Amino acid sequence: MEIRVFCVLALLLFSSSFLQVARGQSDPAVEVVEGTEEAGDLGIVGDDVQDFSSESYTPAAGVETVCVFPKNPSKVVAAGEECELLVGMKNDGESHLNIIAIQASVHLPFDHRYLVQNLSVQAFNNATVPPSAQATFPYIFAVSKFMQPGSFDLVGTIIYEIDQNAYQNVFYNGTIEVTEPGGLLSVESVFLFCLAVALLSLLGFWIRGQIQNLSKVLILTYVPCKTG
């Protein structure tokens, strides 16, 4: 009996450490989301970076943008998971463009005044697009994992400067399809639930055993006390 309990415990410990490893592997993905806000080779968002969401600029003449969702042409976004899009910029103007940041927000499709989520800001430190040139900028975002599945509108803007004047282009204003968080997560939670049930029943058995032992001890100690 003792050995069997020990085996079950060892198995549980082993599987929970296995789970830790599995979680350790999936965690970096989460950190990358936060990381894009702090640092990267492309840019840094710090205290000195303005919050552009409250301001609204006009597009500069001769600047055109396109937006593609590589690996994801149907624009299906799993809640809480990273999604990448590429913003292409074409500069047909006469000045250098200084790219400052890309930002996006999620809105209800039927009423854009209702903002569901402000997505992270991707800042660019020293990215320029010379005249008659094109450049592509990546933007990685993740919608909240608590977002209900369904259709939402994503509005993405790229903010840039020409001679210290700020401009912006809306590179995407259209639908994205939000789906439930990926399967990996639910497998993990099912596993955790089973683990919890197993541990609780094990604890129950252990407590019952202890109580039985205790009552034996009590009887054994009680008897001499009475006679003595």
Ligand X SMILES: *[C@@H]1O[C@H](CO)[C@@H](O)[C@H](O)[C@H]1NC(C)=O
**Of residues 132, 134, 148, 173, which one binds ligand X by CB under 6 A?**
173
Nearer to ligand X, 37 or 188 (CB): 37
Name, in order, each residue with C-beta under 8 angstroms of 80's C-beta and a sequence gap of 6 or more: 142, 143, 144, 145, 146, 181, 185
What is the helix, strand, coil percentage profile of the chain, to 5? Answer: 35, 35, 25
DSSP 8-state symbol, 90: E
User: Is 122 exposed, middle or buried, given 0-12, 13-18 or 19+ CB atoms closer than 10 A?
Assistant: buried
Nearer to ligand X, 36 or 124 (CB): 124
151 binds ligand X (CB under 6 A): no
Instruction: Please name the helix (run of DSSP H) or strand (run of DSSP E) that holds residue 62, with its range, or none.
Output: none
User: Is 223 exposed, middle or buried, given 0-12, 13-18 or 19+ CB atoms closer than 10 A?
Assistant: exposed
177 binds ligand X (CB under 6 A): no
Nearer to ligand X, 2 or 111 (CB): 111
What is the end-to-end Cα distance of the chain in Å, rounded? 36
Binding mask 101-130 for ligand X (x = CB under 6 A): -----------x--x-xx-------x-x--
Nearer to ligand X, 44 or 202 (CB): 44
Nearest approach in angstroms of CB 78 to ligand X is 20
Cα separations (Å) of 14 from 20, 21, 197, 227?
A: 10, 11, 16, 50
Q: Which residues within the stretch 35-54 sit at the binding site for ligand X (CB under 6 A)?
A: 51, 53-54
Q: CA nearest 206: which of 11, 14, 6?
A: 6
55 binds ligand X (CB under 6 A): no
Q: Which residues within the stretch 77-106 sit at the binding site for ligand X (CB under 6 A)?
A: none
- Number of residues engaging ligand X in binding (CB under 6 A): 12
DSSP 8-state symbol, 74: T
Nearer to ligand X, 25 or 118 (CB): 118
Nearer to ligand X, 27 or 177 (CB): 177
Spell out where the chain has E strands. Answer: 63-68, 76-78, 82-91, 97-108, 111-118, 122-129, 133-142, 150-162, 165-179
**Of residues 68, 170, 199, 202, which one binds ligand X by CB under 6 A?**
170
Nearest approach in angstroms of CB 170 to ligand X is 5
Nearer to ligand X, 15 or 117 (CB): 117
Please give the residue ranges that form the binding site for ligand X (CB under 6 A): 51, 53-54, 112, 115, 117-118, 126, 128, 155, 170, 173
